[in-house]
Amino acid sequence: SHPPHPSCSTFCLSLSFPPPPPPPLFESILHKPVQRGGTSKQSAVSYPAWRTSSTTEAGVVLTLLYRLRTVIKQATMMRVSPIARRAMGRIANSRKMMMSEGGTERLDVVDRLHYVQRVRAMTPPQAVESMLAMYSSALDSIVTSPSLMAIPIDDHGFHRGHAVFDTCNVLDGKAYALDMHIDRLLSSAEMAKIELKSVSKTSLKEILLATLAVAGKENNVFCRYWLTAGRGDFHVSPKGCVGGNGFYAVVHKTWERDDETPIKEVVVSTPLKPQLLANMKSNNYMINALTAMEAQEGGGNLGIQVDNDGYLQEASISCVGIVEDDDVLRTPPFETILPSTTVRRVLAFGQQLVEKGLLKGILQTPVKMEQVYSAKEAFLLGGHHVVPVGQVGERTIGNGQRGPVCKALQELQHNDMRNPEMTDAIPFSQYHSNQH
């Protein structure tokens, strides 16, 4: 007597009576005569019998159960009540029991239609909520449905890790430091021997700005992008790749940050990367992930790496800066770590603090861990954020609070993100007629 709630439309329509004409899959099941007491044989492929034949009552029931389970799962992804989740579980258990043949269940083999349905239903809610737009060179298009944001399995960036990547911050509808980041991407690609077959700096920049525009948000978004050796086979060398480079970019919402409260860090034992991999921003972030995991297990955040001689290297996704009693800001050189765009900008605009007398100098120089422990201030420099570090292991840094240099750098970094020389306007109007 009343229209269904929009979030339940799929659920309500699928269970409405009388039912709409069944799609081809169900016509083949519902419109054939049922053989009482008969059994069907498995097809040549690995479909369960109930998916390819309707010659048993159980096949009909199972098919309807499967459809109901799919509908409920889709409704669940639209945040229908927990009752739907429990119902879906019961249907899955019933299907599993009824499909069992000698205690063994065959995996489904799905066609294109059911593949899309399942991918949509199984996309994690946080992905649906956060991922706004993705460009894929496999499509040469931008998609906005998170369930369609995927990488081809034959891409060497996936199965061999033969890829490099970089990022882009956004503030007030402007892409920040995009040229700097693309330059680093191309430098990393050269080190990774990824030949530029189908892309250029100009084309990459156009794609990234377009993808940001399609995402439609002027703030609180972040862009990540990957350049790969290409796709076409599963060999270790990209010699057989065809069709040019793979390039993928995704725009997602950012998470809330607290850059005022000092964090705790710990020194980790995870091995350092060899210099080649340390200097490029490659797709192989296993060491970075293990560094962060070890740090979190020890009560830290990103983790701090130190070489065999006791010299500070970097955190898992940030560099480290300190201010000592001589009021000089020191941060390690790039020889054995990633050339940080954040550090490069700090070295540039940080000179304003020298001019104001808050600092006496800024140096890229080797730093011993003993200097970190005795410093007045310490902070992480990464992602164009400056994050205060109040404790390393059991040692308090300075007074354990955010220091004046850290605070001043945060303000300068925020202002730099509005620097016309460092930003590019995102062309929203080309994709959203109602936006300026």
**pLDDT exceeds 50 at position 411:** yes
**pLDDT exceeds 70 at position 131:** yes
- In whole angstroms, give the CA distance from residue 163 to residue 227: 6
Other CB atoms within 10 A of residue 239 CB:
9
Helix axes 57-77, 82-99, angle to 10 degrees: 150
What is the β-pairing status of strands 377-382 and 319-323? Answer: antiparallel
* Short-list 272, 381, 295, CA closest to 330: 381
**Phi, psi dihedral angles at 400 (to 5 degrees):** 80, 5
Percent over 90 (pLDDT), the chain: 71
Find out whether 213 and 431 touch, Cβ atoms under 8 Å.
yes
Find out whether 217 and 196 touch, Cβ atoms under 8 Å.
no
- In whole angstroms, give the CA distance from residue 181 to residue 163: 15
**pLDDT exceeds 50 at position 4:** no
**pLDDT exceeds 60 at position 121:** yes
Which position among 273, 281, 356, 360 bears the catalytic label?
281
Residue located via tokens 């955190």: 315
pLDDT tens profile 208-245: 999 999 999 999 999 999 999 999 999 999 999 999 99
Residue located via tokens 């300075």: 398
- In whole angstroms, give the CA distance from residue 361 to residue 432: 47
- 174 assigned to active site: no
Buried b (16+ CB within 10 A) or exposed e, 154-186: ebbbbbbebbbbbbbbbbebbbbbbeebbebbb
pLDDT at res. 255: 85
Confidence at 97, pLDDT banded by 50, 70, 90:
low
Write the single-letter amino acid at 197: K
* Short-list 426, 428, 429, CA closest to 169: 426
* Burial grade of 335 (CB within 10 A; 0-12, 13-18, 19 or more): exposed
pLDDT tens profile 263-318: 999 999 999 999 999 999 999 999 999 999 999 999 999 999 999 999 999 999 99
pLDDT tens profile 23-43: 444 333 333 333 333 343 333
Q: How far is CA 46 from the centre of its chain?
A: 34
Residue located via tokens 């995991």: 293
Instruction: Give one word for 374, left, alpha or beta, with left for phi > 0 and alpha for psi -120 to 50.
Output: alpha
Looking at every residue in the chain, the average pLDDT score rounds to 84
